[in-house]
Amino acid sequence: MAQMTKLATEFADLPPTLKAERHGAVAVLRLNRPDKRNALDDGMVRGVEAFFSRLPEGIGAVVLAGEGEHFSAGLDLTELTERDIFAGVAHSHSWHRAFEQIEFGRVPVVAVLHGAVVGGGLEIAAAAHIRVAERSAFYALPEGGRGIFVGGGGSVRLPPLIGTARMMDMMLTGRTLSAAEGQHIGLTQYLVDDGAGLAKAMDLARGIAGNAPFTNFAVMHMLPRIARSDPAAGFATEALTSAIAQGEPEAKARLKAFLDKRAPKVTRS
């Protein structure tokens, strides 16, 4: 992996349960609570929001990973103190705000999944744009057996990925999916051998960081909204977004380089 170019101090102040580093145009954020299987407490969630809302200039992509043997085992259940309904709604909204900074933030996010990707861990992974799974990864939504419900945006983000029926199955039965099953149903885009996830994610992130910034923005912010809109609105939004992208000076320079045979053609990988 490339040498870290700047110290983590350039990022927002983070709790010790999160670690950040920079490798050129790629930032890496690690969930750093391995003794608790990277269970998410309120301090970590606030730190995630701060990190993604205040990325330094020059960052073009982020890799989200977990220290130790697991990505994240989900909500730290010791934080489920007695709350009235209003406090419970506010707590869920705090997770929504944090994870929205991942999904609709400044730059694309590549998540590296290994070991437990459970409950809230699966919800934060679903907010990323690309998910790379190692073969050790396994997925579960055990909320049904614990008498709770997803609260980090999973009911919005997971059905478009795997279907409502599959999410119902996972929540009602406690079913655990393997890395291969998650890949098969569309939960992840890449499946690699154990230990190879971070390198694959960094390679993808470097390529993404080299894209035209407006194209990355449009893919992150416009594509999901177009997909959720009615066809007429979707076509209109697509046309407008396409016209803006083509008018960008960087797009014109890249297209000219391609026409002048100074840019590589698409080939079979």
Query: Is 266 domain-assigned?
Result: no
126, 227: one domain? no
Which of 21, 49, 123, 134 does the annotation list as catalytic?
Answer: 123
Q: What stretches in the chain show pLDDT beneath 50?
A: 1-7
How confident is the model at residue 146, as a pLDDT?
Answer: 86
Active site residue 57: no
- The string of pLDDT tens digits covering residues 42-70 is 999 999 999 999 999 999 999 999 999 99
pTM of the full predicted structure?
A: 0.92
Nearby residues of 169 by Cβ (< 8 Å), 6 or more positions away: 175
How confident is the model at residue 265, as a pLDDT?
Answer: 73
How confident is the model at residue 2, as a pLDDT?
Answer: 41
**CATH number of the domain that 219 lies in?**
1.10.12.10
How confident is the model at residue 5, as a pLDDT?
Answer: 46
- The string of pLDDT tens digits covering residues 245-262 is 988 777 667 766 666 676
How confident is the model at residue 249, as a pLDDT?
Answer: 78
Residues in a beta bridge with 72 = 117
Domain of 254, in residue numbers: 213-259
Query: Is 125 domain-assigned?
Result: yes
Which of 143, 181, 248, 250 does the annotation list as catalytic?
Answer: 143
107, 232: one domain? no
135, 250: one domain? no
Nearby residues of 49 by Cβ (< 8 Å), 6 or more positions away: 94, 97, 98, 101
Q: Which two tokens stand for residue 215?
A: 């194209």
